[in-house]
């Protein structure tokens, strides 16, 4: 039997090969006879190949309505890891990260901690998350921000909910409340981000923005605003108002939800 080519070191994690390394540059060996397959233990491949066909057919017939999260992830992994049973890997990813958004928002290094996920597959998963994020951003760029508030929240959650450190993000808007720019102004620690009101207003003037939306995340998961969050927001409002710049809201993003300082009547 033709021996498999050696795996690259980058495609291994904890002794588990990234099965994609077997494809692309190497000729496919001739299929073994039924008897030789049984002797080598290759007969087991049939059980998940048949399962893949059935799962694909269910998706074609019903979309995602009849599929659990692990099954959708398993479907995706079929193409990324073609020579392994991907159901255990899909379940392991969900066990580790808790949800599909957290999987696609996780750093590549953390994805590679899951058995069966090498660097190539981890990068592909991260790429899918990035594309989804770009799609959400295109929705808020197409319409006035205040008219598509749910899309703004979805975009901010995708961008920030699973970050390990606090980020302070600003959405700069024109006089029609259309998005001019979306910028991360500061990145801090797990529980603090330094924010300078004069720098916020200075950047708004540079972009000719007439309104802004402030956004930051709480890596703890709890979006409840702190006293410091409220005081800092009021300082920015006081600095921006004389220059004709409106602060529409300050949104705090957590893993399980968000808080609006305007909605809570704190500003």
What residues contact residue 183 under an 8 Å CB cut-off, 6+ apart? 169, 170, 172, 203
Residue 133 lies in a domain: yes
In a domain, 5, yes or no: no
Q: Is the domain of 153 the same as that of 125?
A: no
Picking from 142, 168, 199, the residue at the C-terminal end of a domain is 142
User: Are residues 169 and 63 part of one domain?
Assistant: no
pTM, 2 dp: 0.63
Same domain (yes/no): 126, 181: no
Task: List all residues 6 or more positions away from 62 whose beta carbon is below 8 Å from its beta carbon.
Answer: none
Total domains in the fold of the chain: 2
Q: Per-residue pLDDT tens, the chain, 267 aa: give them.
A: 444 444 444 444 444 444 444 334 444 445 554 444 434 444 454 456 678 888 888 888 888 888 899 999 999 999 899 888 999 999 999 999 988 888 988 889 999 999 999 999 999 999 998 898 888 777 777 677 777 788 888 888 888 888 888 999 999 999 999 999 999 988 877 667 789 999 999 999 999 999 999 999 999 889 999 999 999 999 999 999 999 999 999 999 998 889 999 999 998
Q: Which of 142, 172, 206 is the last residue of a domain?
A: 142
User: CB of 172 within 8 A of CB of 212?
Assistant: yes
Give alpha helix (H) positions in 63-163: 69-80, 87-97, 100-105, 108-111, 119-142, 149-160
Beta bridge partners, 250, equal 214
> Could you say which of 126, 142, 158 is where a domain stops?
142
């Amino acid at each position: 039997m033709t021996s498999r080519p050696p795996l690259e070191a980058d495609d291994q994690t904890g002794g588990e090969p990234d099965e994609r390394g077997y494809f692309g540059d190497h000729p496919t060996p001739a299929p073994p006879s039924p008897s030789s397959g049984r002797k080598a233990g290759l007969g087991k491949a049939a059980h998940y190949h048949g399962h893949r066909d059935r799962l694909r057919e269910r998706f074609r017939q019903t979309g995602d309505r009849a599929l659990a999260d692990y099954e959708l992830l398993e479907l995706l992994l079929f193409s990324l890891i073609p020579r392994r049973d991907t159901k255990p890997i899909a379940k392991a990813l969900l066990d580790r990260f808790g949800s599909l958004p957290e999987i696609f928002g996780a750093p590549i290094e953390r994805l590679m901690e899951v058995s069966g996920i090498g660097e190539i597959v981890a990068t592909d998963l991260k790429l899918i998350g990035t594309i989804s994020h770009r799609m959400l951003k295109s929705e808020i760029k197409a319409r006035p921000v205040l008219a598509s508030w749910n899309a703004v929240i979805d975009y901010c959650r995708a961008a920030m909910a699973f970050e390990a450190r606090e980020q302070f993000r600003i959405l700069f808007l024109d006089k029609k409340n259309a998005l001019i720019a979306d910028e991360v102004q500061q990145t801090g620690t797990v529980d603090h981000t330094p924010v300078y009101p004069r720098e916020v207003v200075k950047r708004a003037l540079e972009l000719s923005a007439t309104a802004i939306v402030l956004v930051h995340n709480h890596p703890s998961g709890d979006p409840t605003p702190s006293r410091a969050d409220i005081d800092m927001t009021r300082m920015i409002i006081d600095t921006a108002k004389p220059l004709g710049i409106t602060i529409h809201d300050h949104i705090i993003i957590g893993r399980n939800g968000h808080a609006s300082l305007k909605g809570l009547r704190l500003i």
